[in-house]
Amino acid sequence: MEHIKKYDACPVCEATQLELHLDVKDWMITKEVFTIQKCTSCGFHFTNPIPSEDAIGAYYKSEDYVSHSSTNKGLVNKLYNFVRTITLSKKVSLIRAYAKGNSILDIGSGTGHFLNACKQNGLDVQGLEPDNDARAFAKDNFDVDLEPLDNLLAIESDSKDVITMWHVLEHVYHLKRDIGQIIRVLKQDGVLFIAVPNMNSYDAKVYKEYWAAYDVPRHLYHFQEDTIKQLFSEFNMVCIDVLPMKFDAYYVSMLSEKYKGGSILRAFFNGWLSNMKSESNGYSSQIYIFKKK
Ligand SMILES: [Zn+2]
């Protein structure tokens, strides 16, 4: 079929034995159903088939897609914007705690809020963002110049102290190629921060096909702690820390309840419970910090 990309093999290990994990609806925009498959060889989970790269744009066109806009409509978006202000300063402190230098590359910068906070903290910033509207927003509101994603290939090797991808890796089409490029650009003693949802979290298990962080078909991959560590170890990267994103359990539970027609009280309860159960399941979303071996 046209505008469809189907994997015949696992995008991580290339094994061809794939099994069904779950059928999930695109709750946010099209209501189309997509399948999440599991590679029986390495355990990696991914959406298959997916819209081809030239067709995915249509799946991002929504006011609800808050990471690409700054709408203040609705309780969930208001809460999201409030939490963003808090998490921004936490992210900057985190980078200061780990980084050996000032140069930071952020991939998938969205509307540029994070890079703006970095700039105000004295970091030397560069950001890549595929969406034209988001780039214009960053320029108009923060005077931050974001560049198209393809510019990654032109960045000098061994030039960045820090690279960040906040909820971005699950969206990239050329997973291994892009990881290779990121590692090329990162200095030998540089630090890589990757934040992604955790499909092993308690909220994922509770909400199943309603779990908002499956977010098909926008999320091409569905990570858990062991599969992401394994993926990066193939690139000689070692995970030095895994940190929680505790607000995500509440935010994702609220969206999941919305899709389910459930209650906001239950969302808060499940969000709280998810954080309580992190010992066995991990958190709803996690930040993985990688260094070169
Ligand atoms: Zn595999």
pLDDT tens by residue, 96-125: 999 999 999 999 999 999 999 999 999 999
Q: What is the CA(158)–ligand 1 centre distance, in A?
A: 29
Residues 6+ apart with CB under 8 A from 138: 109, 111, 112, 115, 116, 127, 129, 144, 145, 146
Note down pLDDT in tens along the chain; length 293 residues. 469 999 999 999 999 999 999 999 999 999 999 999 999 999 999 999 999 999 998 898 765 444 544 556 677 777 777 878 888 999 999 999 999 999 999 999 999 999 999 999 999 999 999 989 899 999 999 999 999 999 999 999 999 999 999 999 999 999 999 999 999 999 999 999 999 999 999 999 999 999 999 999 999 999 999 999 999 999 999 999 999 999 999 999 999 999 999 999 999 999 999 999 999 999 999 999 999 99
Residue 236 lies inside a defined structural domain of this protein:
yes
Task: Give the per-residue pLDDT at 68.
Answer: 45
CATH code of the domain covering residue 269: 3.40.50.150
Q: How many domains does the chain have?
A: 1
Q: What is the CA(39)–ligand 1 centre distance, in A?
A: 5
Residue 25 lies inside a defined structural domain of this protein:
no
Residue 28 lies inside a defined structural domain of this protein:
no
Residue 21 lies inside a defined structural domain of this protein:
no
Q: What is the CA(49)–ligand 1 centre distance, in A?
A: 16
Instruction: State pTM to two decimals.
Output: 0.93
**Largest alpha-carbon pair distance within the chain?**
50
Q: What is the CA(230)–ligand 1 centre distance, in A?
A: 10
Residue 171 lies inside a defined structural domain of this protein:
yes
Task: Give the per-residue pLDDT at 71.
Answer: 57
Q: Provide the residue type at 113 as one letter.
A: H
Q: What is the CA(228)–ligand 1 centre distance, in A?
A: 12
Residue 235 lies inside a defined structural domain of this protein:
yes
Q: What is the CA(128)–ligand 1 centre distance, in A?
A: 28
Contact 163, 193 (CB under 8 A): yes
Instruction: Kindly list the strands in the beta sheet with 160-166, ordered across the sheet, starting from the edge strand earlier in the chain.
Output: 146-147, 124-128, 103-107, 160-166, 186-197, 285-292, 237-244
Task: Give the per-residue pLDDT at 45.
Answer: 98
The domain of 239 spans 69-209+218-292
Instruction: Kindly list the strands in the beta sheet with 18-25, ordered across the sheet, starting from the edge strand earlier in the chain.
Output: 18-25, 33-39, 45-47, 221-222
Residue 98 lies inside a defined structural domain of this protein:
yes
Q: What is the CA(220)–ligand 1 centre distance, in A?
A: 14
> 69 vs 19, 92, 110, 254, CA distance in Å?
36, 21, 8, 19
Task: Give the per-residue pLDDT at 2.
Answer: 67
Task: Give the per-residue pLDDT at 77.
Answer: 75
Q: Provide the residue type at 96 as one letter.
A: R
Residue 8 lies inside a defined structural domain of this protein:
no
Question: What's the count of helices (H) and strands (E) in the chain, helices before strands?
Answer: 9, 13
